Amino acid sequence: MPPRGNSLGESLTALLDDRAGQISVIVPGQVVGWDNSTETATVRPLLLDRAGAQRPEIQQCPVVFPGGAYWDIQVGETGLLLVCDEDFSAWWRTEEIAAPETRQNHAIGNAVFIGGLRASTDTRTHQTDAAILPKPDLGGEVLLGDSGATKAALHEDLLTDLNTFLGLLRTWGGTNHANWAVASAAFTAAVTPAINALTAGIGLGNYQSPSVKVED
Amino acid sequence: MNLRDRYWEITVGTRQIASATTTPGKRPLSAAFEVSKSLGREPNRASLKIANLSRSTRESLEQLEEPEIQIRAGYQEQGLQDTIFVGDTQDIYSAREGPDIWTMFESEDGGSSYRSARLAMTFEPGALVRTVIQTIAGAMGVGIGNTAAVASSATLENGSAVFARGLAIEGPAWRSLDTVCRSASLRWSVQNGVLQLRQQNAPAEISATLLSPSTGLVGSPARGTRDPRTGEVSVTAQALIIPGFFPGSVVVLDSTTVQGSWMVHTVRYTGSTTANDWYAELTLKEYDAA
């Protein structure tokens, strides 16, 4: 419907402004629901429309994961709704090149969600040299990486048990053993529990991180 | 068919301003109107003016807040009158032209209603196309017309009767209706205050109006060249104001230059009680037969 204006210039300006207002491109959004069977979220846009009204929630909104990784999205997570030019439903359902199912162009319903955009008031601890994966289901966060790290970190329990083992070796090696048979028996008695502890720890999975798991 | 004695009747709000039935001893009021109607998304428009209303009538009319206006016109013979326009009046003002004071009315068909109607809704995955259309139509602020009947068999262009991923709509209701209708190969317009839905390139009604020199055809219809963009051929014709002309209706032309069934795309009525104007200028196009 052409807007009313007092002059051609005003009319054109109003028309262009009206059209621009109908084009959604990128909008902040918040996850209000997650369906891991379809790997889609229900996302609420976090900006009102030009008329001051709440914008509609987007259901079955595909989620973009960095590098193709996958994890459960947390309700409350914020990010960006990236609005596609056209309705991608047919491709999304079939993985085949397809015509848009609807005539919606740059409509909020044609959005995908990219997590990670946070408000300035978000109080999560800032890390200068590590990536943070929020895992509220585990009671916190998983920090990945360190700018100075070159090797994989050891689990704290494994480090403790290895240090215990190492201490025994040092103690035994630093002793002047007059009787080899006695020394050998003492060594066996002292070290065997430590070896058993390490073996058991590995067998029970005690040295695996509760936050990082490798699946076959 | 008596096509000599003109009939006209105008109602603003609940007030009948003028009628063909004149009060004995009083000079009949003069009126002139121009009504433009089309199948497009823009609202149909009417400009109407009435001469020499009393001061009190003028003042009371000018204070009305977007009143509905209805124009009926045709001929005195029964069955030859039709409501040619129903709409909301945006402007009412009076101005002197020579010795007369004319009261002007500028109106749009459903204009104030669907211009202001906005929506922000989410439809669940699997929502029926017909449900979505009916919901939006219900929010337009105009009568739903034939929406239920036409939408009942609505499918997307891929044949699906549902929006598999659901649908989020926002903004002006008319824009959402337009998008969804186009997605379902439907077209919409507002005619006389109610929604009219139809299949793309098909008329809204099966019944047709015969237009020949004896039923009101004026002059010879002219066939235009084929539109290079749409491939459509259009015909322009002029007729007296008789019932049955509205965008989406079918006219059967019986003339020496053009014959056959055509769909009305636009109609422009011009009428004047003080001049010869009492015409409907039609733009007709081919359509897909059911």
Distance from C-alpha of A91 to C-alpha of B153, rounded to nearest angstrom: 25
What confidence score (pLDDT) does residue A214 get? 45
Q: How far is B210 from chain A (nearest CA, A)?
A: 33
- Average pLDDT value for chain B: 90
Contacts of B240 (CB under 8 A, 6+ apart): B3, B75, B216, B218, B278, B279, B280
> Percent of chain B scored above 90 by pLDDT?
65
Residue contact B125–A109, C-beta within 8 A: no
Per-residue pLDDT band at B127 (split at 50, 70, 90): very high
Q: Is residue B198 part of a domain?
A: no
Predicted TM-score (pTM) of this structure: 0.76
Cα-based distances in Å from A38 to A80, A94, A137, B164, B273:
19, 13, 20, 13, 68
Cβ B104 vs Cβ B49: under 8 Å: yes
- Give mean pLDDT, residues A122-150: 65
Instruction: Please give the DSSP secondary-structure letter assigned to residue B256.
Output: S
Suggest the residue from B106, B121, B165, B187 to mutate for an interface test with chain A (most A CBs closer than 10 A): B165
What confidence score (pLDDT) does residue A151 get? 63
Residue contact A1–B174, C-beta within 8 A: yes
- Average pLDDT value for chain A: 81
Q: Which residue of A has its CA nearest to B165?
A: A60
- Give mean pLDDT, residues B168-187: 94
Q: How far is B66 from chain A (nearest CA, A)?
A: 16
Q: What are the chain B neighbours of A29 within 8 Å (beta carbons)?
A: none
| Partner-chain residue, chosen from B43, B122, B179, that has the shortest CB–CB distance to A102 | B179
Quick one: B10 and B56 in the same domain?
yes
Q: Is residue B202 part of a domain?
A: no
What confidence score (pLDDT) does residue A71 get? 74
pLDDT score of B78 more than 80: yes
Angle, CA of B228, B230 and B234, to the nearest 5°: 85
Quick one: B56 and B96 in the same domain?
yes
Q: What are the chain A neighbours of B38 within 8 Å (beta carbons)?
A: none
Q: How far is B33 from chain A (nearest CA, A)?
A: 22
Q: Is residue B199 part of a domain?
A: no
What confidence score (pLDDT) does residue A209 get? 61
User: Which of these three, B191, B216, B239, is where a domain ends?
Assistant: B191
| Interface list for chain B against chain A, based on CB atoms closer than 8 Å | 41-43, 115, 118, 120-122, 124-125, 156-158, 160, 163-172, 174-175, 179-180, 182-183
Quick one: B118 and B102 in the same domain?
no
Quick one: B91 and B148 in the same domain?
no
ipTM for this prediction: 0.70
Residue contact A1–B180, C-beta within 8 A: no
Quick one: B222 and B243 in the same domain?
yes
What confidence score (pLDDT) does residue B159 get? 93
Q: Is residue B200 part of a domain?
A: no
Q: What are the chain B neighbours of A99 within 8 Å (beta carbons)?
A: 157-158
Contacts of A67 (CB under 8 A, 6+ apart): none
Per-residue pLDDT band at B247 (split at 50, 70, 90): very high
Quick one: B117 and B184 in the same domain?
yes
Q: What is the CATH number of the domain that holds B37?
A: 2.40.10
Contacts of B1 (CB under 8 A, 6+ apart): B77, B80, B214, B215, B216
Q: Is residue B183 part of a domain?
A: yes
Quick one: B52 and B107 in the same domain?
yes
Residue contact B179–A103, C-beta within 8 A: yes
Quick one: B181 and B150 in the same domain?
yes
Residue contact A1–B42, C-beta within 8 A: yes
- Tell me the per-residue pLDDT of A7-50, one tens digit each, with 9 for 90 and over: 888 888 888 888 888 889 999 999 999 998 888 999 999 999 88
Residue contact A1–B183, C-beta within 8 A: no
Q: Is residue B201 part of a domain?
A: no
Q: What are the chain A neighbours of B169 within 8 Å (beta carbons)?
A: 56, 107, 109
Range of the domain at B275: 208-285
Q: What is the CATH number of the domain that holds B213?
A: 2.40.30.150
Residue contact B158–A101, C-beta within 8 A: yes
Quick one: B142 and B214 in the same domain?
no
Q: What are the chain B neighbours of A89 within 8 Å (beta carbons)?
A: 163-165
Quick one: B19 and B95 in the same domain?
yes
> Percent of chain B scored above 70 by pLDDT?
96
pLDDT score of A216 more than 70: no
Q: What are the chain B neighbours of A55 within 8 Å (beta carbons)?
A: 120, 168, 170
DSSP string, B98-147: TTEEEEEEEEETTHHHHHH-EEEEEEPTTEEHHHHHHHHHHTSSSB-TTH
User: Which of these three, B143, B166, B191, is where a domain ends?
Assistant: B191
Distance from C-alpha of A88 to C-alpha of A71, rounded to nearest angstrom: 23
pLDDT score of A3 more than 50: no
Helix/strand/coil for B177? helix
Cβ B69 vs Cβ B109: under 8 Å: no
Q: What are the chain A neighbours of B124 within 8 Å (beta carbons)?
A: 59
Q: Is residue B59 part of a domain?
A: yes
Q: Which residue of B has its CA nearest to A40?
A: B165
The total domain count for chain B is 3
- Tell me the per-residue pLDDT of A150-194, one tens digit each, with 9 for 90 and over: 566 667 778 888 888 888 888 888 888 888 888 888 888 888 888
DSSP string, B135-147: HHHHTSSSB-TTH
Q: Which residue of A has its CA nearest to B42?
A: A1
Q: How far is A121 from chain B (nearest CA, A)?
A: 28
What confidence score (pLDDT) does residue B111 get? 66
Q: Which residue of A has its CA nearest to B112?
A: A1
Quick one: B94 and B137 in the same domain?
no
Q: What are the chain A neighbours of B41 within 8 Å (beta carbons)?
A: 1
User: Which of these three, B191, B222, B238, is where a domain ends?
Assistant: B191
DSSP string, chain A: -PPP-SSHHHHHHHHHHHHHHT---EEEEEEEEEETTTTEEEEEESS--TTSPPPPPEEEEEEE-GGG---PPPTT-EEEEEE-SS--HHHHHHSS----SS---S-GGGEEEEE----TT--PPP-SSSEEEEEGGGTEEEEE--TT--SPPPPHHHHHHHHHHHHHHHHHHTS--S-HHHHHHHHHHHHHHHHHHHHHHHHHTTTS-SS-----
Quick one: B129 and B106 in the same domain?
no
What confidence score (pLDDT) does residue B19 get? 58
**B170 sits in which H/E element:** strand B167-172
Q: Is residue B225 part of a domain?
A: yes
